[in-house]
Chain A
């Protein structure tokens, strides 16, 4: 069987059963990357030598019984904003083009502890700011379903790598939809965990109160497996939380009998494409067929999510990105002779336009005289959004909705109108503001045969519940099994 068409859990099982070696698997992916990534540009950095050396080490560990995770020996790609010791971590920005972290992010350590093999670092929108991966300083990633289209963003490389079979599983990050939206555009599965469920230590911050690392994979079971590797309290991240141990069996059970699902009416209103809407309605039918109750309910606060999100995210971003100054690491403009010049030139030459725009927006909403009208107002809106979810979860076990109003746009269509690009985040940002988990899975194709995604939104720290619902859906459908080549 073609290694690259297997799921991560299948690969892990095959290695354990000695049907293949870790090196064979790793070599299989490395050669696929070498042969086809030229067409997609999923990877910023491929760790060929290190991955092969690691593969042999892991094989030994598995043989000696040191690595027992279901994902031991499985290769993984990592978004390029997650720090990897000794491997460049660029955030797809010129300002970090030569940055090599001297430490591993906690999630990377956990990948190693589970015996996984890191293949390389995946392309993204610069500093995770964007919805198309077009703001990357290393160039756009192409959507494997149609290379004229964007893969979504900001974890475009992470989603496209899975779709193009250049990694069985990947780690992305999601601040306002950055795992779910590219997963949706590329026809793969992706989980944005509860805020605090996964350590952020080593994730280069975009908006600290919203950022979460999560898995992308061919299906929900693989997401559950990778999530169980990375989740859990980390003493290095004060905002990570202690939770009941994640139950993999419960997360992959798939039973929907008697579950109550709510669809926010405002998720099916103005702006949604007819194909996407139809796919969501069909998904609702599928769930009814599985024994769940599905109903539409009003959630009028949806329309305030984007304003609140861009205020909070940009405010935090302008602070988080102030440390890039050409002095301690990263790009430093040559030929500057005074301090102010070093700051201004390094930052002006090092950051792309979208990053600059969000820095300016963040500075605006925090500047004296505007703080209350914007930032504080957004924090109050956050409170109301959290309350709206709390109320919804009194009635429903989970919520269902589209990930994005449309399928993947063509490359070059989005950047000219930033506001239009921001509006595309309408169904995803609210989840980050509330901090709740959300699982994106494929649920259909539009008339151009581009994938459509839906999301299942869960109660805080109830990842198992929405993963199980995703597994139930995938047991009943085969959208997740389609791949670009066969389409």
Chain B
């Protein structure tokens, strides 16, 4: 039988606000346990939440960038459950009237056709604290530094049919969140987390199968692997005539398998009800328009501008806009050396290669726009050749050297005084009599060898075409 995989995503993203969602504590990552904590976010009796207005602004930005309707009057609800990482024993979230609804992002399906993935809703909520398992005692330590950090939960419709669509959607969503300044989306630090709901059904069947939810997916690779594993597990069970149990499963990326966390029998009753401590949020048309007007340029808009105004190819623009770090480097470098094509080529060639070789994430880009501009500038001006330029860039990238100083200190600048070339080339000709006579007897390929020897003698610092010109002049 042919099976179809059906998936929906719940993406949580931590917002790039300065403070927590309901109190004035810093959201800074790291820090000693419980040092970014106050009476409010630790749930002391008598304290009350007060909403950070930036969170609403970020939610609306995200909604606008994902084609959502903005809920004009939305409000918070309490989701009640007991766990030590949740000091009030309820999470302030939005169930009944989430801030955004009915949006979409576009991906390309396996046949290459555009496909809209529906966004059911986006809601605002607070993050929980962190549990640290003690190494020496049978106990767990509780740190509330992350507790109350603002989150958006972005819930898709069950529109995905392949892991590829999931990854495309996540890449788009990440770009939107990064470009709008809503989140830095660092998966390693947990500021972008995706839970995958997955079910399978015989191809052609209209009803959905029983679904499972997978958690702890910390990278795109983990998501891909977990989807493959879970789809196969479910198909095997069904083919063996067994039933799928609706459950939450935790992915173990080291071992490459998932296991059930809690099953339906144990399902929690979250007893949602409207949060009485927070007044509703009313978002006017005016506010929406203001946020829209102030919204940073999105990837799609940048692509259009890069092709139309800068004359870059569609392929180049889609690569450049795939990560906010590339865009920042591109735009800031471009501001310093007015040559879009060169800047784009350097980033897509050398910079991406260096990131890849050193396993560096784009968001941790060690290269400053002014240094990239300096290298491009030196190559373009003929001060160094392209090969030297690549070597210099690598030194800048790995050791943080100043490109201009490095070129000067290591005497890498090209020989611009052509009269200095002739004696060196004459020496090379004298030292390679055999190849010279071969060339003269008609073996034109011998010229390549002589040329190589000449460039070596010049330590690569001479313009190749000048050297070639001189060689022909002397030998022909």
Residues of A that sit less than 8 Å from B by CB: 82-83, 89, 91, 96, 99, 101-103, 105, 200-205, 207-209, 235-239, 315-316, 318-319, 322-323, 325, 327-329, 339, 343, 363, 366-368, 371, 375
Contacts and interface: CB of A to CB of B under 8 A. Distances in A.
B85 to A, nearest CB: 11
B148 to A, nearest CB: 14
A367 B45 CA distance: 24
B46 A205 contact: yes
B117 to A, nearest CB: 29
27 contacts: A82-B46, A99-B45, A101-B44, A101-B45, A101-B46, A103-B39, A103-B44, A201-B47, A202-B47, A205-B45, A235-B50, A238-B48, A238-B279, A239-B48, A239-B279, A315-B273, A316-B273, A322-B80, A322-B89, A323-B45, A323-B87, A325-B82, A327-B84, A328-B42, A363-B271, A366-B273, A368-B269
A204 B82 contact: no
B78 A319 contact: yes
Contact of A83 (B45, B87, B89): B45
B282 to A, nearest CB: 14
A462 B466 CA distance: 94
A366 B90 CA distance: 13
Q: Counting chain A CB atoms within 10 Å of each CB, which of B46, B87, B272, B278 scores highest?
A: B46
A328 B278 CA distance: 24
Given A102-B44, A319-B80, A323-B87, A236 B50 contact: yes
Nearest to A328: B87
Given A202-B47, A339-B84, 17 more contacts: A89-B46, A96-B45, A99-B45, A101-B46, A238-B48, A238-B49, A239-B278, A318-B271, A319-B271, A323-B87, A323-B89, A325-B89, A327-B84, A327-B142, A343-B82, A363-B271, A366-B272
B315 to A, nearest CB: 51
Contacts of B369: none
Contacts of A339: 84
B277 A202 contact: no
Given A101-B45, A325-B82, A367-B271, A319 B277 contact: no
B51 interface: yes
A373 to B, nearest CB: 14
Interface string B438-476: 000000000000000000000000000000000000000
Contacts of B87: 323, 328
Which secondary structure characterizes the binding site on chain A? loop
Nearest to B43: A323
Contacts of A101: 44-46
A19 to B, nearest CB: 38
B88 interface: yes
B241 interface: no
A325 B89 CA distance: 9
B276 interface: yes
A371 B82 CA distance: 20
**For the complex of A and B, 6 pairs with smallest distance between CB atoms:** A322-B89, A366-B271, A209-B276, A208-B276, A204-B45, A202-B46
Contacts of A89: 45-46
Interface of B: 39, 42-51, 78, 80, 82, 84, 87-90, 142, 269, 271-273, 276-279
A222 B50 CA distance: 32
B44 to A, nearest CB: 7
Contacts of A322: 80, 82, 88-90
Contacts of A204: 45-46
B48 A319 contact: no
Contacts of B49: 238
Contact of B48 (A99, A201, A325, A366): A201
A98 B42 CA distance: 18
B264 to A, nearest CB: 13
Contacts of B44: 101-103, 328-329
B359 to A, nearest CB: 39
A236 B45 contact: no
Nearest to B278: A238
Nearest to B275: A208
B82 A237 contact: no
A78 to B, nearest CB: 12
B86 to A, nearest CB: 9
Q: Counting chain B CB atoms within 10 Å of each CB, which of A96, A200, A368 scores highest?
A: A368
A375 B80 CA distance: 15
A140 B45 CA distance: 23
A296 B202 CA distance: 71
A237 B78 contact: no
A319 B82 contact: no
Contact of A319 (B42, B273, B278): B273
Contacts of A103: 39, 44, 47
Contacts of B271: 318-319, 363, 366-368, 371
Nearest to B87: A328
Nearest to B267: A368
B46 A83 contact: yes
B427 to A, nearest CB: 83
Given A322-B90, A323-B88, A238 B277 contact: yes
Contacts of B276: 207-209, 239, 316
A239 B44 CA distance: 18
Nearest to B140: A339
Contacts of B277: 208, 238-239
A367 B269 contact: yes
B330 to A, nearest CB: 43
Contacts of B90: 319, 322
A115 B276 CA distance: 32
A99 B45 CA distance: 10
B110 to A, nearest CB: 39
A200 B279 CA distance: 14
